[in-house]
Amino acid sequence: MEFSADRPTFFVNPDYRPMTGAAKPVIDPATLETVGATAAAADGEIDAVLTAATKAQTAWKKLDAKSRARHLHAVANAIEGADFTRCAELMVREMGKPYPEAIGEIANCAPIFRYYAEMARDDAGKVAGTTQAGSFQYARYEPYGTSVHIMPYNFPILLMCWTVAASLAAGNACVIKPAEATTLSTLDYIKVFRSLPEGLVSCLPGGAATAQALIASDRTHAVAFTGSVAAGKAVAVACAERMKPCVIEAGGSDPLIISQHAPLDVAAAGSVTAAFHLTGQVCTSAERFFVVDAVHDRFVDLFAEKTRTLRIGNGLDKTEIGPLVSEAAR
C-alpha cells in the first residue's frame, strides 16, 4: 500500500497500513479547503507498532556501531536522492509555511543522519579511573529500547530527524507521533526509512491520547518531545511517574536587546526575522524588544520599514508570512 493524503494510514517500516478510526479532515489554513484526511490510532494499531518495534530493536541493538552507521548513511542517501516536492506542498497546505521554507527544511535533513552515523562510532563507553589496585573499571552504554518521538507542527521533518537519527544511532527503535497539523507531510516523508530493518521506524498518527498511550506503555523506554510548555509539562510528569527518561523542548518567551552601538540595519533586519519567521510560531521567536533610548526611534523606523516589505498570503504563492496553523491558533 502506498501513501495517499485522502486515505488515513499509519506506517510500520516499510509499509503503509490503513487506519480503522474515524477519518478527520485536514484543512488548509490559507484557503480552508480540505487537503486530505487522518485518523487517531486505535489500540490495535498501537499494539502492532510496538510489537514490530520491539522485535526490530532486539536485532538492531546487536549490530556494531559501524554497521548501524552504514544503515544511517543509506537513509541520508535516500533523502538526497528523493523528490520532496509533494511532501513540501503538503506541509504548506497543512500548516501554512511558505514553500521555500518547507522545501528548505527537508533539504537540511541528510547531514543529520551522517553526523549521528559517525558520532555513534566513538560513543561505546569509557574507561574509569581505578579505586582499587589491580582493578579495571569501565562504563558501557546500552540502548534504551524503543523511543517515542512526539513532534511539533512548526518544523515537523527537521526536528523529527534530529531526535530519530540520534536514537537510531544509539541502537533504539523509533515510534514517531507526528503533530496532528503536519501528519500528512510526515507520512509522505517517512518512506526514506525503507532501507532500515522491518519495523524499526514507525509513524503513528493521533492526538494527545495516542501520545499518552505510547508514554504509558511498558514497551517504550525513552521519550523525545518538542511542543508547547503545557504539553511538555504533562509529558515530563508522565515520564517521571514511570522513571522513563525524556528530552523536553518547549516554547519560550524571548527578549531581544538592541544596544546603543548595534549596527541598526543589521539589527532591524534580524529583529524582523526573529519576530515574524514562520508567522512567529517558533520557540525562539523574539516576543519582547529592549531598545536603548539613544537608538530607539531610529530602530523602530527601520523595523517598521523592513516589516512593510513582508508579503502576507498563501504559502504556495510568493510570500514571507503565511497563515497561522489553525483557526484555534488564530
Strand order in the sheet with 9-12: 15-18, 9-12, 201-203, 173-177, 146-150, 222-227, 246-250
Write the single-letter amino acid at 260.
Q
Residue 81: count of CB within 10 angstroms of its CB: 9
Distances (CA, A) of 323 to 4, 284, 292, 303, 329: 24, 19, 32, 21, 10
Write out the three cell numbers for 175.
Answer: 515510534
Residue 30 Cα to chain centre, angstroms: 23
- Integer Cα distance of 107 and 82 in angstroms: 10
Residue 81 Cα to chain centre, angstroms: 21
| Ordered DSSP codes for 192-228 | GGTTSPTTSEEE----HHHHHHHHH-TT--EEEEEE-
The set of catalytic residues is: 249, 283
User: Residue 52 in contact with residue 216, Cβ under 8 Å?
Assistant: no
DSSP class of residue 304?
H
- Integer Cα distance of 208 and 231 in angstroms: 9
Helix (H) or strand (E) holding 289: strand 286-291
User: Residue 162 in contact with residue 151, Cβ under 8 Å?
Assistant: no
